[in-house]
Amino acid sequence: MRLKEKVAIITGGAGGIGRETALLFAAEGAKVIVVDVNEEEGMETVDLLAAAGGAGQFVRADVSNASDCKNMVSRAEEEFGRLDILFNNAGIMHPKDDDAVNTEEDVWDLTMRVNLKGVYLGCKYGVPALRRAGGGIIVNTASFVALLGAATPQLAYTASKGGVLALTRELAVVHARENIRVNALCPGPLRTELLMKFLDTEEKKQRRLVHVPMGRFGEAKEMAQAALYLCSEESSFVTGTSFNVDGGITAAYVTPE
């Protein structure tokens, strides 16, 4: 087991990457605090994890809310005695996110609050708990759009993920001597609810796939495996990186037919 006795907080744990990571981390021996605004599906993640013999608790928290973030960290320490891993993974892709002209301020503000401020707040309360545990690991979910401009615009989302990368680098440098590693996971386009709701026609899906050398959407399970690597001892000298798990999209200039 690669995470035996480790205690992990996973935000956005009700679905997609977060749920798959919670199940994988629990199978690898971690005790998992599953965090989400979606209580029903968050509890379902904990039920699935328990049915497979794992240990977990659901905590409802909106990652853009400071007292919720404080509470999720306290709950990890109360329930399981410590915090070793913080996976800041919750995120939104607003259906009205567009180019600069057409994106309304409320869409911009909400996206920044959840996707960027949520990571900062997770760290604000998570870092002291990691210090109390003698060190630990933070993984922040960014995206390939933090590295590439997309012709189908989602300006607020893209900017928020660029912010996550910048924030990750600085956190990694600041906390390196405290035995805290911080990395960003940059998924390519995935077949999760988040993107499939945005690319809501076959034509839009195919337009995105044209750019992926591997010619398919990634799976949440594949991101969970990447997160496991970043949270295990196997990545003990890895910090401050943007870990691209993207079917080759960021390597391509022109993709093969």
Helix (H, G, I), strand (E, B) or coil at 58: strand
Cα distance between residue 141 and residue 164, in whole Å: 8
User: Is there a contact between 89 and 12 (Cβ–Cβ < 8 Å)?
Assistant: yes
Nearest Cα neighbor of 14 from 50, 39, 31 is 39
Total residues contacting ligand NAD by CB under 6 A comes to: 28
Q: Which is nearer to ligand NAD, 17 or 127 (CB)?
A: 17
- Binding flags for ligand NAD, 154-183, as an x/- string (CB under 6 A): ------------------------------
Q: With binding defined as CB under 6 A, does residue 190 bind ligand NAD?
A: yes
Q: Which of 49, 114, 116, 130 binds ligand NAD (CB under 6 A)?
A: 114
The correct pick among 143, 235, 241, 242 for binding ligand NAD (CB under 6 A) is 143
* CA gap 195, 166 in Å, rounded: 23
Q: Tell me if 122 contacts ligand NAD by CB under 6 A.
A: no
Q: For residue 190, give the DSSP letter.
A: B
10-24 per-residue burial string, b: 16 or more CB within 10 A, e: under 16: bbbbbbbbbbbbbbb
Choose which of 2, 27, 29, 38 interacts with ligand NAD (CB under 6 A): 38
140 contributes a contact to ligand NAD by CB under 6 A: no
Q: Which stretch binds ligand NAD (CB under 6 A): 11-19, 51-59, 147-155, 235-243?
A: 11-19
Span interacting with ligand NAD, options 1-9, 69-77, 90-98, 229-237, rule CB under 6 A:
90-98
User: Please, which residue, 3 or 164, has the CB nearer to ligand NAD?
Assistant: 164
Which CB, 71 or 135, lies closer to ligand NAD?
A: 71
Using CA atoms, how far apart are residues 85 and 14, in angstroms rounded to an integer?
A: 18
Backbone angles phi, psi at 104, to 5 degrees: -80, 155
Closest to ligand NAD by CB, 131 or 221? 221
- Phi-psi sector, 12: left (phi>0), alpha (psi -120 to 50), beta: left
Of these, 90, 137, 138, 228, which contacts ligand NAD (CB under 6 A)? 90
CA dihedral 182, 32, 93, 129 (to 10 degrees): -40
The reply on whether position 89 binds ligand NAD by CB under 6 A is yes
Q: Is 250 in the site for ligand NAD (CB under 6 A)?
A: no
Q: How far is the CB of 38 from ligand NAD (least distance, A)?
A: 4
DSSP designation for 84: -
Annotated catalytic residue 120: no
For the annotated catalytic residues, the residue numbers are 157
